[in-house]
Every structure is written in structure tokens, then in C-alpha cells.
């Protein structure tokens, strides 16, 4: 009787081990499949032209996405300027001050905001920044992306600030430092590594958002001077080119996808390495 | 200095006493932790606070520089006079510059050794020669010789005992009139403990000290006056030699002979 039980337990263990192993492998292979596909298709079309030339008129071969690359960078810059300070200061409030009820409300609404579909945020930014002036602009795109950056920054800043032990704050206050001074000169510098990487990750996340840009920044086949004009971005270009009937455009869309994924991967890897160096692990 | 002499010299009392605590009550929310405490802490002497765990000695110590205010829902009543001024009416930041604190576990900032010691000076807007003051503080804390060539290194590179002496140097940098020590040696080895007790002896001339300690031998060795607390009340307070050899209260005797605590 017990021998049967033993066999049953052993085989159950083996089945579960296999199942979990297969599932883990599936997860990893999905990423590598996407990467492989992108590298294969996009790598062939990556050339100097892609980075330096503007899109050619419809139907003509060649050209590049220089304006989209710069456009994405400009949009990320706007998102950073608008969303990161708000997120950081809100994170400071949650970690250092905040009564029980208000903090709960702030955290809950932050999580809700994080869950709002990006296209809905796009509509919101559209009514806020596009309708009043009756044209698309980089600024409107920045607003949409900035809103998306806020929840991630708030939560990660709060988490890294909370990780700083209270004894450090006590030490500073016992020397006569006021509350805000303690935060500014001891707590924030101590948490700066984690906070900065959290910010970088939030930017990496919104770098690939397409839906909110569709009706805020729209797109542009030329350079977009200033901040008040429609602007090209990598994700929107991928969208436009991928559904077009031209093979050459498909090829370019692959290349753009590769660039985008490469940037995101680079940011993620860089953050992990930087955090590990500081001895503050983040799973 | 005899306790009897102190009581008789009324006018001299104010000059000889640094802290005068009258009828101090302290509450954590609804729970009372200190009951009607009356104590005089003499100037330029070391006063030890002893008692079993949970008797309120750390709580009491932290009221002296109002560190308990960082905890929510705490309440304090009574009078605490520092050189005649009520500290509860004083600006708390100004108070903490005059009354420094060293904590149980070393808590150096994640900065260099130099920046740790200079921190208090910098936030006070001191513009003078930081280098000299940093050296002076490190010497007073008996740490200078060990770190003088490594001032730019991170404070975390130091051992536990060195970190605690760094925290003492940091507290001393702003030249406080009083130094409060909350079980400063409980996380340290005996050799480092002896070093810290020795530096306390040398600090007496310039600094009044109050030390909470679980270690009765340390209290007997390092202090001039000892106060014994139990369940939030001050049971006995007198010269250390007298308290340890001929205590007046039976509870004191029970504690120091190890019958409880």
C-alpha cells in the first residue's frame, strides 16, 4: 500500500516539475521568439539611412525614420518633464507624511490610474490639449505620456523611500535637521539610485505606447520644429507602415520595432545592473 | 559633589543642574509610560538610567530632546527645564542642536566619514573651517587616528564600534551642551565599550551626559549619578557609589542584586 503511495507521490512531483519547467520555458521562449523575429526581419533593413533620412514620399523606396527617432525622444522628454517631478513628490508625500486615509486614497487612485487603458488617456489628453487649439501637437503627446508616467513613478519612488530605515531619519533629526531637510539631504540621496532607475523604467514603458499618441501627437512625415506641431514617433510609424501595402514599408516597420525593443531592453537591463551594484535588490 | 550639599545650596543649584524635570508624564496614545517623574540631571556629570526592560528609561531619555514627537499620538505633560528654559516651549530644532543623541544601533548616513561628521555643521549654516572641526570632533570621539587617512571613504566601510564612535563624533560636532546616549554599547564588543566609556570620562568637562544602560556594571563604572526606574516611575536617584552599595529602596536593591530585571 505504501509503495503505491510513494510511486504516486514521486510521479506527481515529476509531473509538476515538468509542467512548471515547460511553462517557464514557454515564457522565456516567447521573448526570444519576438526578439529573434525582429532581429531577423529588422536587422536586414537597419542601415545608416534609417537613422538619418526622412521618410520618402509614398511609393518611393528607401528613406528612413530619423524624424520618428527624434520625435520619440522629444515626446519622452516632455513626458519626463511633466510626469516625473509630480510622481516623485507624490511618492515623497506618501512615504514621509500622509495620514492614513488620504494616503490610502492617493495610493488607490494611483493604482487605478495605472490601470486606465492608454487609449482612454489619449482621449483625455485630446480633449485637454488638442481640441482647445484645434491641432495636434508634440505637447499634447507629451501630456498623454506624462500622465502615464505618473503612477509608476509614484509607486516606485515611494517603495524606495520606504526602504530607507527610520534610524537614518532619526539620526538626522537628532542633529537638529527639520523634516524637509532630513528628506532632502539624507533620505532622498540615499534612495536616489532606486528612484532614478524607477524613473528610467517608467519612461521605457511609455516609450512604446501607440494608442495615446494617435490623436494627440498624430504623426508627421517631416521634421517637427518646436512643440506645437504634430510629431512622428516610432510606435505610430510602426503602426502606419505595418498596415500599408508596401513591402519596403513593412521592412522599415520591422527595423523600427527592433530599435524600440532594443531601447526598452537596454533600459531594463541597465536598471537591473545599476540596482544590483547598490545592493538593493528588486525582484 | 554630595547630594546633601546640592540641596542646601539653593542659589548654586541652578548653576549645577543642567536639566530639571518636574512631574513628567508621558503617554503613547492612551497608554501611560512615565508617571510623575522628578529628576535633576547635574551639569558636567554622567547620569545613568537603569531599570528593567520596558520601565520607560528610553522613553524618558527621548523626551529630553523631544525625539518622541516624531512618533504619532504621543503626549507629554509636566516641565522640563534646560538651564531654566522650558524645552517644551522652545524651538525644537534649536533644542536638538544643544542636546545631542547617540542611538542604540549605529546609524551613520550613507555618506563619507567626513560628510557624516560635517553634516550637523553644514545644516546649521556653519561657514568656517570645517576640516578643523571635523578633526576635533573625531579626536573627541577617539576615532581620529583610525580614520584620518580615509576621511572620504564611506561610513559603512567602518566596523560597528567605529561606526558608533563616528555617530558620537557626528553628535559632538555641533558642540552640544548635553549628550544623550541610549544604550550606545549594547551592540558592541567589550573592547569598544571600554573605549567609549573612556571617551565619556574625557567628555565630562565639556558635556553633560545621560546614558541609558542595561549593563549595571557599566553604570557602576562610568557614571557619577544613577537613577533607577521601574514601571515608568523613578524609584531612586543618587550618587552611583551610594546607590550600588547602600540603596535606600528595597526594589532598587532587588534589581541591582539581580533578583529581577
State pLDDT tens for residues A9-27.
Answer: 999 999 999 999 999 999 9
At residue B100, what are phi and psi to the nearest 5 degrees? Answer: -90, 170
* C-alpha cell of residue A268: 531594463
Confidence band of A277 (pLDDT split at 50, 70, 90):
low
Instruction: State whether residue B101 is helix, strand or coil.
Output: strand
State the average pLDDT for chain A: 90
Confidence band of A281 (pLDDT split at 50, 70, 90):
very low
Interface membership of A163 toward B (CB under 8 Å): no
Q: Is the pLDDT of residue A157 over 80?
A: yes
Q: Which of B87, B97, B115, B119 is nearest to B19 (CA)?
A: B87
Q: What is the reported pLDDT for A236?
A: 94
A171 contact residues in B (CB cutoff 8 A): 103, 107-109, 167, 170
Say what the pTM is: 0.81
| A138-162 helix and A118-125 helix, angle to the nearest 10 degrees | 130
Confidence band of A59 (pLDDT split at 50, 70, 90):
confident
Q: Is the pLDDT of residue B210 over 70?
A: yes
Compute chain B's Rg from CA coordinates: 18
At CB < 8 Å, which residues of chain B contact A? Answer: 65, 67, 70, 93-94, 96-97, 100-101, 103, 105, 107-111, 119-120, 123-124, 167, 170-171, 174
Q: How far is A68 from chain B (nearest CA, A)?
A: 42
Q: What is the reported pLDDT for A261?
A: 86
Alpha helices in chain A (DSSP H): 2-43, 48-52, 66-96, 100-115, 118-125, 138-162, 166-174, 179-182, 188-207, 211-214, 234-242, 247-277
Question: What's the mean pLDDT in A99-104?
Answer: 88
Tell me if A158 sits within 8 A of A95, measured CB to CB: yes
Q: Is the pLDDT of residue A263 over 50?
A: yes
Q: How far is B253 from chain A (nearest CA, A)?
A: 35
Could you give the ipTM of this predicted complex? 0.86
CA dist., res. B178 & res. A252, Å (int): 72
CA dist., res. B173 & res. A11, Å (int): 68
Q: Which of B69, B233, B78, B83 is nearest to A174 (CA)?
A: B69
Q: Is the pLDDT of residue A283 over 80?
A: no
Whether A171 and B107 lie within 8 Å, measured CB to CB = yes
Whether A189 and B101 lie within 8 Å, measured CB to CB = no
Q: What is the reported pLDDT for A278?
A: 55
* C-alpha cell of residue A120: 482612454
| Segment B97-126, tens digit of pLDDT | 999 999 999 999 999 999 999 999 999 888
Long-range contacts of A120-128 (CB under 8 A, 24+ apart): A121/A147, A121/A148, A121/A212, A122/A211, A122/A212, A122/A213, A122/A214, A122/A215, A122/A216, A123/A215, A125/A212, A125/A216, A126/A215, A126/A216
- Where is mean pLDDT largest: A278-282, B46-50, B88-92? B46-50
CA dist., res. B143 & res. B164, Å (int): 10
| Segment B136-175, tens digit of pLDDT | 999 999 899 999 999 999 999 999 999 999 999 999 999 9
Interface membership of A189 toward B (CB under 8 Å): yes
Pick the more confident residue, B89 or B4.
Answer: B89
Amino acid at each position: 500500500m505504501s509503495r503505491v503511495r510513494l510511486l504516486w507521490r514521486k510521479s506527481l512531483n515529476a509531473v509538476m516539475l515538468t509542467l512548471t519547467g515547460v511553462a517557464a520555458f514557454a515564457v522565456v521562449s516567447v521573448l526570444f521568439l519576438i526578439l529573434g523575429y525582429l532581429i531577423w526581419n529588422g536587422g536586414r533593413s537597419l542601415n545608416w539611412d534609417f537613422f538619418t533620412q526622412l521618410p520618402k514620399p509614398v511609393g518611393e523606396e528607401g528613406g528612413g525614420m530619423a524624424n520618428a527617432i527624434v520625435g520619440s525622444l522629444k515626446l519622452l522628454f516632455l513626458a519626463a518633464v511633466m510626469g516625473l517631478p509630480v510622481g516623485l513628490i507624490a511618492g515623497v508625500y506618501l512615504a514621509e507624511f500622509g495620514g492614513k486615509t488620504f494616503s490610502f486614497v492617493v495610493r488607490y487612485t494611483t493604482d487605478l490610474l495605472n490601470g486606465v487603458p492608454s487609449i482612454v488617456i489619449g482621449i483625455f489628453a485630446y480633449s485637454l490639449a488638442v481640441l482647445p487649439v484645434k491641432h495636434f501637437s508634440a505637447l499634447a503627446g507629451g501630456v498623454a505620456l506624462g500622465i502615464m508616467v505618473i503612477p509608476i513613478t509614484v509607486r516606485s519612488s515611494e517603495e524606495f523611500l520606504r526602504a530607507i530605515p527610520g534610524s537614518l531619519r532619526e539620526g538626522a533629526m537628532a542633529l537638529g535637521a527639520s523634516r524637509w531637510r532630513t528628506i532632502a539631504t539624507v533620505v532622498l540621496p540615499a534612495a536616489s539610485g532606486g528612484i532614478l532607475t524607477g524613473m528610467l523604467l517608467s519612461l521605457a514603458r511609455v516609450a512604446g505606447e501607440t494608442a495615446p499618441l494617435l490623436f494627440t501627437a498624430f504623426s508627421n512625415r517631416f521634421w517637427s520644429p518646436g512643440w506645437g506641431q504634430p510629431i512622428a514617433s516610432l510606435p505610430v510609424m510602426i503602426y502606419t507602415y505595418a498596415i500599408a501595402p508596401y513591402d519596403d514599408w513593412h521592412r522599415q516597420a520591422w527595423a523600427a520595432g527592433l530599435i524600440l525593443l532594443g531601447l526598452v531592453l537596454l533600459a531594463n537591463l541597465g536598471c537591473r545592473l545599476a540596482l544590483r551594484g547598490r545592493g538593493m535588490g528588486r525582484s | 559633589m554630595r547630594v546633601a550639599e546640592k540641596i542646601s545650596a539653593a542659589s548654586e543649584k541652578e548653576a549645577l543642574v543642567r536639566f530639571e524635570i518636574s512631574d513628567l508624564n508621558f503617554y503613547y496614545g492612551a497608554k501611560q509610560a512615565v508617571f510623575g517623574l522628578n529628576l535633576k540631571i547635574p551639569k558636567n556629570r554622567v547620569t545613568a538610567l537603569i531599570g528593567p526592560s520596558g520601565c520607560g528609561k528610553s522613553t524618558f531619555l527621548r523626551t529630553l530632546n523631544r525625539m518622541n514627537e516624531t512618533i504619532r499620538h504621543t503626549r507629554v505633560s509636566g516641565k522640563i527645564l534646560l538651564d531654566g528654559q522650558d524645552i517644551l516651549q522652545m524651538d525644537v530644532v534649536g533644542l536638538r542642536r544643544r542636546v545631542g543623541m547617540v542611538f542604540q544601533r549605529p546609524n551613520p548616513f550613507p555618506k563619507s566619514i567626513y560628510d557624516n561628521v560635517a553634516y550637523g555643521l553644514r545644516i546649521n549654516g556653519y561657514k568656517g573651517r570645517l576640516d578643523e572641526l571635523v578633526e576635533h570632533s573625531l579626536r573627541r570621539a577617539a576615532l581620529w587616528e583610525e580614520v584620518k587617512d580615509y576621511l572620504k571613504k564611506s561610513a559603512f566601510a567602518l566596523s560597528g564600534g567605529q561606526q558608533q564612535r563616528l555617530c558620537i563624533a557626528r553628535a559632538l560636532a555641533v558642540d552640544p551642551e548635553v549628550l544623550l546616549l541610549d544604550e550606545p554599547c549594547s551592540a558592541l564588543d567589550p573592547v569598544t565599550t571600554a573605549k567609549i566609556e573612556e571617551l565619556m570620562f574625557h567628555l565630562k568637562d565639556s558635556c553633560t551626559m545621560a546614558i541609558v544602560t542595561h549593563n549595571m556594571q557599566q553604570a557602576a563604572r562610568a557614571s557619577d549619578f544613577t537613577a533607577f526606574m521601574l514601571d515608568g516611575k523613578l524609584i531612586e536617584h543618587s550618587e552611583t557609589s551610594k546607590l550600588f552599595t547602600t540603596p535606600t529602596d528595597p526594589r532598587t536593591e532587588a534589581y541591582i542584586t539581580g533578583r529581577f530585571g
